Amino acid sequence: MKITIDRSSCSGHARCAAAAPGLFRLDEDGYALPFDDEVPGDLERDAREGESACPERAITVE
Ligand code: SF4
């Protein structure tokens, strides 16, 4: 599983991190940080919840 953050669409709502704090990380201004590695399968649900929580549709889970 891969998560892509469209940083140009991210508006720093931090809702992804609120929905899945163990997965999404934010920079010092509250914008989501990109993912470098594959996401483990057991975090699939957290990834989907973060994706759904983003009002800007800046998160893509594949
Ligand atoms: S919820 Fe969306 S817009 Fe807000 S920080 Fe996360 S990725 Fe960015």
Let me know: does 54 contact 13? Beta carbons within 8 Å. Answer: yes
Using CA positions, which residue lies closest to atom 3 of ligand 1?
10
Q: Ligand 1 pocket, 56 CB below 6 A?
A: yes
pLDDT in tens, 9-59: 999 999 999 999 999 999 999 999 999 999 999 999 999 999 999 999 999
CA 11 to ligand 1: nearest atom:
3
CATH numbers and ranges of domains, the chain: 3-61 (3.30.70.20)
Tokens of 33: 């940080």
Q: What's the confidence (pLDDT) of residue 7?
A: 95
Report which DSSP code applies to 34. Answer: P
23 lines ligand 1 (CB under 6 A): no
How many other CB atoms sit within 10 Å of the CB of residue 42? 7
Distance of alpha carbon 19 from alpha carbon 15, whole angstroms? 6
For residue 29, the model assigns a pLDDT of 94
pLDDT in tens, 12-22: 999 999 999 99
The protein residue whose alpha carbon is closest to atom 8 in ligand 1 is 10
Question: According to the model, what pLDDT value does residue 5 have?
Answer: 97
DSSP 26: B
